[in-house]
Amino acid sequence: MLPFAVATALLALTATTGVAAAAPGPGGKDAPGSGGKDAPGLQEVMFVGNNWDGTADVIKSKGSFEKLGRINVVPDKEERLREIYANPIKLAAFLIIRNGPGEGHDQLVDDMYSTPDGSAMVVSRPSFADVVSIDVGTGELNWRFPVSGFRSDHMAVSPDGRRVAVSASTSNTVHVLDIETGKEAGNFKTGDKPHENVFANGGKHLWNMSIGDVQTDTDDPWLDWTKGDRKITVVDAETFEEVKVIDMRERLDAFGRKDFSDAVRPVAFTPDESKLYFQVSFFNGFFEYDVAADKITREKVLPKNPDTSEDRTTWVNDSRHHGMSMSPEGDKLCIAGTMDDYATVVDRETLEEGPVVTASKPYWATVSGDGKSCVISEAGSDQVSAIDFATGEKTVSVPVGDHPQRVRIAHVPEDWTSPAARD
């Protein structure tokens, strides 16, 4: 057993949630960093990361969302485990990730993107503190980049598909890598526990949201100050120089919400990037932020599930509602109510919600390839489900692996079959 003081210190280093929203590009749709929708020889798909399995399912990006195959994202698992078990510090961090944000499981895949030519999947693996490129044809590793610190987290791909940004959550650093080679193009410092990354302004800027310490039990509003330095850091995507810092504590206070957490979780830009919608820890709803005016302009409170405990310490990684995407037209928001076990589509103009769609621990929300549906991952029932933006109703559910989280638009060769199917 680790001494309590050591374990507590390492817990503070490694604690950060495994849930977030899908908003890597304007309007909430994944950036086209996968060769382009009409690239010859490629088919558009979705990658579904099964965090506790260490696999990624490949499904159709629209319509039936039929499963096309599966990729093992930890082909080097035994090698990584030998390294970890040979190093007491790495082992301590590994076990704390398992028993903290992993909820008793290893976190083997967090985020995924395809390379521009569709030949590889680039994956962040929290428990292994790295990013790897995996050949989608052979299932073999192309390259591996160990992040600074003990845990890798959310990624974002640039609009041209050439660079991928990854949060190193225990070192308060974002690394930006060449997606083909894994070589680091640069990095920058963030607030405590960097989480979601979003490329904006045509790829000129990179936004990072830090969420602070989400594993502590100091969850009462008056103890919010103990959660760390949480802020949005915006940098130049070429030079990695800081452009601005947005402290939502000040904006929430000015809006009259001094009792709310300032840990910005999932976000979604409008297509013109004039408005940013964001969720915060412990809140069953979201806020609207006017980017040019630099102020919060509206708040939306969504229904609570009466069966959800009001004990904040029981909520996974300080979540309540966690997951957000926006329709390509910018008129609808899709909200995943993680701890309340539902999802709903909200009219952006009126902020009126549509039908409440029952879902089991929805961990993510993104947009289908045709833009007609919001696709959520249901971590509690090991499936992904599509919700029609127009009607707000669920249209289809597809079984996937253990504890699906991130879902990303991607591309693979037209004739692709999974490596396992070739064995």
3-class DSSP string for the chain: CCCHHHHHHHHHHHCCCCCCCCCCCHHHCCCCCCCCCCCCCEEEEEEEEECCCCEEEEEECCCCCCEEEEEECCCCHHHHHHHHHCCHHHHHHHHHHHHCCCCCCCCCCCEEEECCCCCEEEEEEHHHCEEEEEECCCCCEEEEEECCCCCEEEEEECCCCCEEEEEECCCCEEEEEECCCCCEEEEEECCCCEEEEEEEHHHCEEEEEECCCCCCCCCCHHHHHHHCCCCEEEEECCCCCEEEEECHHHHHHHHCCCCCCCCEEEEEECCCCCEEEEEECCCCEEEEEECCCCEEEEEEECCCCCCCCCCHHHCHHHCCCCCEEECCCCCEEEEEEHHHCEEEEEECCCCCECCCEECCCEEEEEECCCCCEEEEEECCCCEEEEEECCCCCEEEEEECCCCEEEEEEEEEECCCCCHHHHC
pLDDT at position 317 is 86
Distance CA 211, CA 320 (A): 14
pLDDT at position 101 is 85
pLDDT at 182 over 80: yes
Q: What is the mean pLDDT of residues 365-376?
A: 97
Distance CA 142, CA 192 (A): 31
pLDDT at 30 over 60: no
Residues with Cβ within 8 Å of 372's Cβ and at least 6 positions away in sequence, in order, are 62, 388, 389, 390
Q: What is the mean pLDDT of residues 162-182?
A: 97
In this prediction, residue 174 has a pLDDT band, given cuts at 50, 70 and 90, of very high
Distance CA 93, CA 11 (A): 7
pLDDT at 7 over 50: no
Question: How many angstroms from the chain centroid is the CA of residue 153?
Answer: 8
Q: What is the mean pLDDT of residues 97-114?
A: 93
pLDDT at position 321 is 92
Tokens of 146: 């160990």
Q: What is the mean pLDDT of residues 267-271?
A: 96
pLDDT at position 120 is 98
Tokens of 88: 């007491």
Residue 369 and residue 44 in contact, taking contact as beta carbons nearer than 8 Å: yes
Q: What is the mean pLDDT of residues 367-376?
A: 98
**Domain ranges in the chain?**
4-422
pLDDT at 409 over 90: yes
pLDDT at 3 over 80: no
Distance CA 335, CA 184 (A): 34
pLDDT at 26 over 50: no
- What φ, ψ does residue 279 adopt, rounded to 5°? -105, 155
pLDDT at position 219 is 84
Orientation angle between helical segments 88-99 and 4-14, nearest 10 degrees: 70
pLDDT at position 215 is 82
Residue 252 and residue 299 in contact, taking contact as beta carbons nearer than 8 Å: no
Distance CA 396, CA 67 (A): 12
Nearest Cα residue to 405 out of 310, 311, 316: 316
pLDDT at 31 over 90: no
Distance CA 113, CA 319 (A): 25
pLDDT at position 6 is 39
Number of Cβ within a 10 Å radius of residue 155? 26
In this prediction, residue 421 has a pLDDT band, given cuts at 50, 70 and 90, of low
CATH number assigned to the domain covering 4-422: 2.130.10.10
In this prediction, residue 38 has a pLDDT band, given cuts at 50, 70 and 90, of low
In this prediction, residue 15 has a pLDDT band, given cuts at 50, 70 and 90, of very low
pLDDT at position 218 is 87
- What φ, ψ does residue 23 adopt, rounded to 5°? -150, 50
- What mean pLDDT value characterizes the chain? 91
Q: Which tens digits make up the pLDDT trace of 124-162?
A: 999 999 999 999 999 999 999 999 999 999 999 999 999
Instruction: Look at the chain and count its residues.
Output: 423
β-pairing, 55-60 with 67-72? antiparallel
Nearest Cα residue to 333 out of 28, 24, 90, 9: 28
pLDDT at position 278 is 97
pLDDT at 11 over 60: no
pLDDT at 2 over 70: no
pLDDT at 241 over 70: yes
Q: What is the mean pLDDT of residues 220-239?
A: 94
Distance CA 317, CA 285 (A): 17
